[in-house]
Amino acid sequence: MDLLPQELRKTLPPLYSQESTSVPIVLAKLFTPDAGWTWYIKEEDGDWLLFGYVIRPGGGVGVFLALRNCGHPRPAPASCGARSRVSAGPDQ
């Protein structure tokens, strides 16, 4: 499953580059429709290590996410797995 297309990965800023930005740009959204978890991706290190925010049941936090660990099918009945929504720009 291609959660983050190569074209989009090329546009993600490097890790820590938006640290001093008051309004960081989020370019991708990953989510698990069956579990209520959503990741908003804002930076990438070039080796599938991403940084962004996760909204989960109980709250939200800034997190690092290794994309190589995502997108694997889960056993039934929770077989939805992670999905992606690619943004066309910072306002979407």
Domain boundaries, the chain: 6-17+24-86
pLDDT digits (tens, 9 = 90+) for 47-63: 888 888 888 888 888 88
pLDDT of residue 16: 93
Q: What's the pTM?
A: 0.70
**Residue 80 contacts by C-beta under 8 Å, 6 or more apart in sequence?**
32, 33, 34, 35, 74
pLDDT digits (tens, 9 = 90+) for 24-83: 889 888 888 888 888 889 999 888 888 888 888 888 888 888 876 665 544 433 434 555
77 prior amide bond cis, ω within 30: yes
pLDDT of residue 89: 47
Which residue is associated with the tokens 């499953």?
Answer: 1
